[in-house]
Structure formats: C-alpha cells, structure tokens
Structure 1
Amino acid sequence: MRIEETGIPGAFAVTPHLLPDERGSFHEGLRADKLEQAIGAPFVPRQISYSVSRRNTLRGIHTVAVPPGQAKYVTCVHGALRDIIVDLRVGSPAFGRHHVCTLDARSGRSLYIPDGVGHGFLALADDTRICYVMSTVYAPGTQIDIDPFDPELALPWEPDGEPLMSKKDTEAPGLAATLAAGALPTWQKVGA
C-alpha cells in the first residue's frame, strides 16, 4: 500500500498493492495502522455510508463543521469518478486550493480527507458506487455545502453536459459567502 500526501495538507491518496491471479485480484482497502502512521493521529471509523450515482452526477462540495468534524476515507467500489477535495480550513497554507484525482474500482485507490477539507465528485460511469468510512456519525445541522461551480474555486469538473445535482448543491453558497458567514472551520481547530 502506497500512501502519498496530496497538495492539501493532511489529505492522502492511498494506492493498494493489487494481487491478481486467475480468479481476479485481492487488495487491502484500508490498513488503519499504516494510515494512522501517515496522518499522525488515530482514525477510528464511526460510520460507513454508500452512495450510488448515475453517470454525470455531481455531488459536493461538502464538509462538516468543527466540532464535531468528520474525516473521511473514500473509495470507489464500482464504476469511476473524478474526485475533488478543497481545503476549506481558514488559515491553512492551502486554503481554497484543490486536488483532483480519479478513483475507480479497478485501481482500488482511495482518498483520506481530514476534518475541514471539502469533498465532491463527478460520476464518470453509470452505477458508480462510493464507500465513505467516516470518523464521526451524521449530526444534523453540521453540514457545510459550497457551490461546486463557484468561479472563485474554478474546479475542473468537466461534466458531459448539464450534471445531475441535488437542489441542496445547486443552491449552495460560494466560498466567499460561506467564509463571510463564519461557517468554515479554522486551521487551528482541526489540530493542524
């Protein structure tokens, strides 16, 4: 398993070592000991959730207020997606910057996303399925949503036509409005 920090401090891309044979392949999807060594803190799963999306579905950008915060370990278990994370931690040296990668079931690649970093994806295939392993349980009223098409962020989604989006995401405020409202976590609060 190769764990590499992205351009967002504390966010890591995890690429497993695939063991193929005539039956298919095997790989370790999550090794808490190796992940914890890389992030320098415990990662204790408290909730596992899944989403299933049609091709050209765009979900995000989402994060959770701190407290309670929510670190995520995201894996595509079927299909493929363009995954984008955005540093939303006020005071972070990477505030407002993003990291883009492709997650697909074939590679088994995952992303570790720390507290305060926003996450979203564009499904590149029908029946794209994502597994989210999260450090906290869902707490109503703590979600922070940012407009995924905010011109200030200029995220490279590249949808094929008009993307399928929830009303919540199409009506989400931009980064500047969310910052002005005082809703974003600070770099210091997330333990960086």
Structure 2
Amino acid sequence: MPSTPNFAIPYPALSDSPNGPSQMQAMATQIDTVMPMRQVSSTAAVTSPYEGQFIYNSTDNLIYRRTGSVWVPTIQHLVALASSDLTIPVTTDTDIAGATITVTTQVANAVARVAADYDWDCTVTGTGYCYGNLYVDGTRQAGEAIFVAQSAETRIPGSKHWTIILATAGSHTLKLRGRKDSSSGTGIFRAAGTSILIDLYQ
C-alpha cells in the first residue's frame, strides 16, 4: 500500500486487493505510533523517530522535539544561586560566585531569557554607582542593573532581564558579575538574595 508523505500512514490504492480489516489495522497502527506525544524513559527508547516528533521524557520531565538527527529539549528552566557575598570591586567586572550557568544547546539560535536578582547592600556611603551585569561566553551584554544609596546600611533588591540569542550550537556559559565606578563607599552583593534564572528555548 502507498503511504502519506509526512507520517507514513498507509492507505489502499486502487490496485490493492480489497482487505478492509487488514488495511484499516495497518492505518490504525501507524496513527497510534506517530500521532500522540509518547511518554518514554529516555530518547533512546524511541525506535523510529521522525522529524518534528514530540516526546515526554519521564526521567528528566522535559518535552523533546526531533530536529534532524537529534532530540532537543524544547524548554529548560535553570537556576543558580550565589554561593558567597561579593564585595564589589572598582572598575573591574568580577564574578558573583555561584551565579553561573553553563548550558549545551543542540541547535543554532537558541533563545535564553535571563532574569537576574540582586541583593545589594551599601555598608559605607560614597559618590559612585554599583552595577550588576551579565556575561555570556566572556562578553558583557548590553544593559546593567544600577544601584546607588544615600545612607549606609541600605539594602536594595534589584533585578534585570535579558533576551540572548545563542548563535551556535554547543556549550555556553552565562554568569552574573559586578563592579562599581568609584573607590568611594562600599557595596556588597549578598548571596542570600542574588541568583540567575534562565528559560532556554530550542
């Protein structure tokens, strides 16, 4: 019997001998195979994957899409919490320890929506500003969270969002960093409320 081009669903041709039960069973079996989103324990459990197929992986609780020869997680939610305070240095962007996420993308032009939460503590007043920023693969991204206070012992929560296009497939590192523009005053990014959250779309 011939079959449809996208899902290979068989159907009888005029030249086929009439056999309704067998032909209907062949059609129903193929529809049952390709149409529903299947639940599997690993992508390797799918024996005959096809382009555009979706599956639910019960091991990591992610939905995967078949693209070319690979399975790609459609959405991943990733978070990293700062592991220690950063006393903010002058002029030099410095890592906020722990607030780093490394992802591996399967396709080019994956989209990372990044949300940064900062817990800024002014312990000594000064004349400068403090900045929280995002680096992707060693490059500072446009846009920063900016903090300033008029009195000591001022603690200010702040946030910043970025949308990043990861142009190439492979490993990418996204991290939060901080700096200030004057030696006057002391600011600290506290670990207690500083984190990075990424929604990764492939």
Q: Provide the TM-score with structure 1 as the length reference.
A: 0.31
Which structure would you say has the larger Rg? 2
Q: Provide the TM-score with structure 2 as the length reference.
A: 0.30
